[in-house]
Amino acid sequence: MKIKGAEVLLKCMMEQGVDTVFGYPGGAVLPIYDALYAAKGKITHISTSHEQGAAHAADGYARSTGKVGVVIATSGPGATNTVTAIATAYMDSVPIVVFTGQVARSLLGKDSFQEVNIKDITASITKKSCIVEKVEDLADTVREAFQIAVSGRPGPVVVDIPKDVQSAEVEYEPFRSKLSEIKEKKYFNLNEYGDSLNKAIDMINRSERPVIYSGGGTVTSGAQNELMELVEKIDSPITCSLMGIGAFPGNNEYYMGMVGMHGSRCSNYAVSNCDLLIAIGARFSDRVISKVSAFAPKARIIHIDIDPKEFGKNVDIDVAIKGDVKEVLQKINCKLEKADHRDWMEKIKQWKSEQCEPFKECKLSPKFIMDTLYNLTGGECIITTEVGQNQIWTAQYFKFLKPRTFVSSGGLGTMGFGLGASIGASMGNPGKKVNKCSRGWEL
């Protein structure tokens, strides 16, 4: 039986387990909204006041759940309103799929009302952007969009669908299984990377002053247990990037806080004095390394990441291992010797005790507020932030205990992110406390 393209879109979403979408209606997506209305009870639609807010909500949903966030926006200004949010997701490797409406195919290229080439506009800030030119291609394009969004290094995908494609009829064939269950093959191959793996293991076993630097890739991979095993096995302090917060418990004795411009004194001292830096799922951003020649000057560097483009991009490294963080750590952990770095850990404790404690004369300090929030929630909450000091104070002072509980714009630093993200996180985690930290005027 033939059904409309908009119905095909909804059925393909449900194939992927989508139960929540974020969007704002408009003329070029009315067929999709008709299909959504018919599917009520199966897919919940969250209507925002602006398309950028919808995309930020999908982003917050994805970051806090690990699932793909889905956005629906109309053509023209509706589509362009999502651009900043798409770039936000791209910079932080967040899987969202944005479905935009487009003018009918017969009106393309004629400066039609609310026509804009969103495919080309978003080409540099997505893993893929495309336009569906035939209704027969719609189902495969949607399925591929979800696959691309979650495979390898996650990121946003844009699918532009002309209005007449949404209304055209086509035979629909259900897919045999979810594409999310047929992700591209694992990058890690023991034979291919055996030399690098063995070299890394030898370097770790020989190290006397190791430091682990964990990034957002550890959160994405779900490697928190493997990370804990590594830390305890090699008796190493651990620091993180802004996006790596939550992968390791903030109340653990090995945890030093963030490193870099907004990092802790202890973390920066440790990185400056370590003899081995193990970077896991982290990119060496300018906010972390600052002056390249002065970054980890005494250390050899091991870099584990799923994206080989990060190797040597900002700092020189000694060993590169391309692969899924969780799987690579499993292979490494089983071959490591149990280490005892008590002298190094005593030095770490000394640096920790020398941490600066600002605003001591003022009880209502950022640290006091974050400590109070932690005590009230027991750390069992999700916190979203805006960008600026509210973000940094939250990252520095709140003791995040679990991954996917700190939701913030890191790479792009997008003001206005927090409110939409908090809505998305709330929808993705019913019953869980979601707190938004921002400056007063942003409320």
Write the pLDDT tens digit of every residue in 241-284.
999 999 999 999 999 999 999 999 999 999 999 999 999 999 99
Confirm if 58 and 379 have CB atoms less than 8 A apart. Answer: no
* Dihedral pair phi/psi, residue 48, rounded to 5°: -100, 175
Question: What is residue 176's predicted lDDT score, i.e. its pLDDT?
Answer: 62
CA gap 24, 81 in Å, rounded: 11
Per-residue pLDDT reduced to its tens digit, 370-406: 999 999 999 999 999 999 999 999 999 999 999 999 9
Per DSSP, helices labelled H in 223-264 are 224-234
Q: What is the reported pLDDT for 175?
A: 82
Give the DSSP letter of residue 88: H
Which stretches of the chain score pLDDT less than 50?
Answer: 179-180, 182-191, 441, 443
Measured CA angle at 418 (ends 362, 67), to 5 deg: 130
In 3D space, the residue among 306, 317, 308, 322 whose CA is nearest the CA of residue 192 turns out to be 322
Tokens describing residue 193:
């990377």
> What is the predicted pLDDT for the residue at 289?
95
Residues with Cβ < 8 Å from 425, sequence gap 6 or more?
60, 61, 63, 64, 382, 384, 407, 434
Element containing residue 391 per DSSP (H, E): helix 389-397
Question: Which residues touch 176 (CB under 8 Å, ≥6 apart)?
Answer: none
Q: What is the pLDDT of residue 71?
A: 99
Number of CB atoms found within 10 A of residue 239's CB: 28
Residue type present at position 227: L
Cβ atoms 415, 85 nearer than 8 A: no
pTM for this entry? 0.94
Task: In whole angstroms, give the CA distance from residue 297 to residue 273.
Answer: 8
As a whole number of angstroms, the distance between CA 285 and CA 295 comes to 12
Question: Where do the domains of the chain lie, and which CATH numbers do they carry?
Answer: 2-181 (3.40.50.970), 194-353 (3.40.50.1220), 366-442 (3.40.50.970)
**What pLDDT, on a 0 to 100 scale, did the predictor assign at position 183?**
46
Q: Say if CB 239 and CB 257 are below 8 A apart.
A: yes
Give the burial class of 358: count Cβ atoms within 10 A of its Cβ; 0-12 exposed, 13-18 middle, 19 or more buried.
exposed
- From the list 9, 169, 180, 196, the residue with the least C-alpha distance to 95 is 180
Amino acid found at 5: G
Please give the single-letter amino acid code of residue 133: E
Q: Identify any residues that bridge with 131 across adjacent strands, giving them in sequence order.
A: 160
Report how far apart, in Å, the C-alpha atoms of 426 and of each of 293, 384, 399, 407 are: 43, 10, 20, 12
| Type of residue at 86 | I
